[in-house]
Amino acid sequence: MELLDQDLSARRVASVGERRARVLVVHDQESTRLLLAHIVSREPNTRVVLAGTCEQALQFAGATTYDLVLLDLMMPGIGGLEVLRQLRISQTNRWTPVVVVSPLDDRESRLRCRALGANGFIAKPVARADIVAALRAHSAQAH
């Protein structure tokens, strides 16, 4: 029964004329990326796009405007902070809310993220309620 419920909730379709919120999930660890996607996809009228690398995230963000980005800071390559910086100067996602998801829960990390334009910060391990609250708050702002 639970599997069926999850399957149906992931297939929700927006009502006629209702736009689906696009959420970009950026995380290098597949298990966390899939967990975040599962949480987000259970919300009505959402569409989730997954990026496993910083470069992939910037490629997707260059082609599509998102309603919310969930961004891991501790990413290989250029890193999450650089992705955040580049999102804030991009044409397509300059104003898109970005919520950082990170194991770094110190004041300095939070302030650095805010200074670069993050709209929120969720410390790991993530709680479903925190992700849902961020999604609902920032989706409401986008519409």
Q: Where are the domains of the chain?
A: 2-142
pLDDT band at 17 (very low <50, low <70, confident <90, very high): low
Please tell me the pTM assigned to this model: 0.85
pLDDT at 8: 31
Alpha carbons 85 and 142: distance in angstroms, whole number: 20
pLDDT band at 79 (very low <50, low <70, confident <90, very high): very high
Of 94, 87, 59, 90, the C-alpha closest to 71 is 87
Torsion of CA 93, 77, 112, 100, to 10 degrees: 60
Average pLDDT over every residue of 93-106: 95
Q: 2-142 adopts what CATH topology?
A: Rossmann fold (3.40.50)
Average pLDDT over every residue of 58-87: 97
